[in-house]
Amino acid sequence: MLLIAGLGNPGAKYAGNRHNIGFRAVEAIAKRYGFSPWRKKFQGEIAEGEIPLPDGARVKALLIKPQTFMNNSGAAVSEAARFHKLSPGDVVVFYDEIDLAPGRFRMKTGGGAAGHNGIRSIAASALGPDFRRARMGVGHPGHADLVHGYVLSDFHKADADWVAKLVDACAEALPLLAAGEDDKYQAEVMRLAPAEKRNPRTPNSEQGAG
């Protein structure tokens, strides 16, 4: 079984924030694979279903959107993982990554939090740091003092196209992730939603970053 978490903040006022792109990823996954309706459990909202594997088999999956606010994401994720007796390798977390250019995507396992409070909270929980991370690039505002306001502000209208393509690609390529093929999953997401590899701190008017 897989536990797939999307990070964000609960409530309508945060729905369009860069910080909430993780919520959008798991919502797209739930829609694409016909998961159950969202319901409250584990200090979050969950949906249950199955993901087809490339070989035709299927794997059970639980999607979760923590409702604890970003800084306490670990409470919800670790509670769900503990209940289902999952190891860190069974847990994948989708979240916004300011150190990747808008639209870029990278998978990694373990490591530091790089200043992301949701990732820091999960790593500090009973689950530990060695979970799988789906890093969705949103770009960097250019200075550390601007990061808080940047991630808690909405995507610009000019961002809508690449955001939708990245979210959809994360859902479409998911069978590779479910099969444990993280490198292939990363490559397929980028094939489906190509984005320019550039300095995440460089503004781009076409993408509306910053």
Residue 145 CA, chain-centre distance (Å), reads 24
Say if CB 16 and CB 155 are below 8 A apart.
yes
Q: pLDDT band at residue 206, thresholds of 50, 70 and 90?
A: very low
Say if CB 51 and CB 178 are below 8 A apart.
yes
- 3-state helix vs strand vs coil in the chain, percent to 5: 40, 20, 40
Our answer to whether residue 19 is catalytic in this structure is: yes
Active-site annotation holder among 19, 116, 143, 156: 19
CA distances from 149 to 2, 72, 153, 174 (A): 33, 19, 6, 31
Count of CB atoms situated within 10 Å of the CB of 153: 15
Provide the pLDDT for residue 203. 60
Q: What is the CATH number of domain 2-192?
A: 3.40.50.1470
Q: Where are the alpha helices (DSSP H) in the chain?
A: 21-32, 73-83, 117-123, 147-151, 160-172, 174-178, 182-192
* pTM, to two decimals: 0.94
CA dihedral 11, 61, 122, 196 (to 10 degrees): -80
Q: What are the tens digits of pLDDT across the range 30-89?
A: 999 999 999 999 999 999 999 999 898 999 999 999 999 999 999 999 999 999 999 999
